[in-house]
A and B are shown apart, each in its own frame.
Chain A
Amino acid sequence: MTATGGRRIGDVLLKVEDISLSFGGVRALSGVSFDIRKHEIRAIIGPNGAGKSSMLNVINGFYHPQKGKIIFKDIARTDIGPYDAASRGIARTFQNIALFRGMSTLDNIMTGRLLKMKRNLFWQALYWGPARREEMEHRAAAERIIDFLEIQSIRKVPVGRLPYGLQKRVELGRALAAEPELLLLDEPMAGMNVEEKEDMCRFILDVNDEFGTTIALIEHDMGVVMDISDRVVVLDYGKKIADGTPDEVRGNQAVIDAYLGVQH
């Protein structure tokens, strides 16, 4: 990881324009547009089923919207797959932890570095010498992440055996291992106790601060959202109902109504 340092919010890194996505009859997203600027922490909030996770899935290429454009680093694409997204610098975590349960913490994080490794997996398998050396370099990078997230003691433990809070942390580690430009976090603090949440907040802020990583964050805990995000976009029933700083959003009547369940 290379520290770019500072937290100057920069130009637009990602822009989604007029995104509509439906599954059969279910409209998960209708005409949603917003942007994410370099180095910022951008929260996406909204009641259950609002379409937040679907939005992340669109951004990292799991879902293909029927309509709309995704412009990442000034290149517009609608049909990218997860492989392209990852190779262009988008990493993510999942709402329901998606780790490689049979592997150790270290192996999970190493897997996150796959794209950083030299191309052509196949020849690497046969080339012992150089591949070994390269492997050591990546190993060192993985160890730095392990130190950063304070999970040295579970380096060798198969992640399936870890408690929930630690699994979430390993998943963050795997995403960080890719040294992403844009990090998508889907409810990184869900199901955690207060102390674990505080740790997670600290890690997110440190990543953003030390490495300048841009972060899109889905979170239900309003306290956390208001504390750490620079700007917030609010979805409800697949539509964007508000967009602005935490203070602006907090006072917005549509947002209050959506959270109180006022009928539309």
Chain B
Amino acid sequence: MGFFIEVLFGGFLAGVLYALVALGFVLIFKASGVFNFAQGAMVLFAALSLVRLMEWMPIPIALLVSVGIMIVFALVVERLVLRPLVNQEGIILFMATIGVSYFVDGFGQTIWGSEIYTLDLGLPKEPVIILESVFEGGVLVNKFDLVAAVIAGILVTVLAVFFQKTRIGRALRAVADDHQAAQSVGIPLRDIWVIVWSTSGIVALVAGIVWGSALGVQFSISLVALKALPVLILGGFTSVPGAIIGGLIIGAGEKLAEVFIGPSFGGGIENWFAYMLALLFLLVRPQGLFGERIIERV
């Protein structure tokens, strides 16, 4: 039992990360209907910015500057991509974000370099044993996993308060519900886009910090976006809780599958398990765990 829980916890770390990336997707998708392929590239870009800036300045300043960079990025995307393409089909915007993704990957590596950088924010990394009173021998976890979970928890709480309690939050929810109606009450769509892209950029930075601290900042971060897709299918494209729970299920599921049923498949399950789970899920509940029911109106 203790070992099972250890594996589960290990899976949750990956899950938190998937959840953060999926969360970035959901925010943008809800507010602008854009499926943002560049989310993974944004995670890489944010992490690279932070890790390189830290060579020049103290950590808190580097963090602030990185946030600033993501806000500037949001402004640029709104001006150069979203505004000219307003009212175009979703697929066109999707393709535009593929372009953004390649550009950001290339641009980031050009200005920041393309090696593997160690990100050390001084977060604790040593393993600890918890739940000793519950299981014999307790459960061995990495302190970092716990810290990552706490960071993600704080981020999600802050976002929830922001969305539920503030005026901008209400405006954001209005835009997510109905673009036309939101415009008719005078909500400026462009400002809202900048705000959600900035928020997504900050979420990307947090994801980059978690991932980069665990495995180093490197190009492969950008590919984590591909794992967010099954998470979104599981959680629903428009649900924030769905992104989080979907992320945890996929993360834990693939680790457990790898460890417990992997050997009989010859390993490597981790690479495709998430997609298979999503596929099965798609057959049963196409709207995702928390997504709104899809009702065809005729």
Contacts and interface: CB of A to CB of B under 8 A. Distances in A.
Interface in A178-213: 178
Contacts of A83: 183, 186-189
Contact of A98 (B171, B173, B178, B191): B178
Interface of A: 60, 62, 81-83, 86-87, 91-92, 94, 98-103, 107, 110-112, 114-115, 117, 121-122, 124-125, 131, 135, 174, 178
Interface of B is mostly: helix
Given A100-B177, A121-B191, A125-B166, A114 B183 contact: no
Contacts of A117: 167
Nearest to A100: B177
Given A107-B170, A121-B167, A131-B167, A114 B187 contact: yes
B149 interface: no
Nearest to A125: B166
Contacts of B174: 100, 103, 111
Interface string B156-190: 00000010001111110110111011111111110
B173 A100 contact: yes
Interface in B65-96: none
Interface size class of B (residues with CB under 8 A): 20 to 34
Contact of B183 (A82, A107, A125, A178): A82
Contacts of B189: 83
B25 to A, nearest CB: 19
A112 B187 CA distance: 9
B164 to A, nearest CB: 10
A82 B182 CA distance: 9
A146 B119 CA distance: 54
A114 B174 CA distance: 11
Interface string B40-75: 000000000000000000000000000000000000
Contacts of B185: 86, 91, 111-112, 114-115, 174, 178
Contacts of B177: 99-103
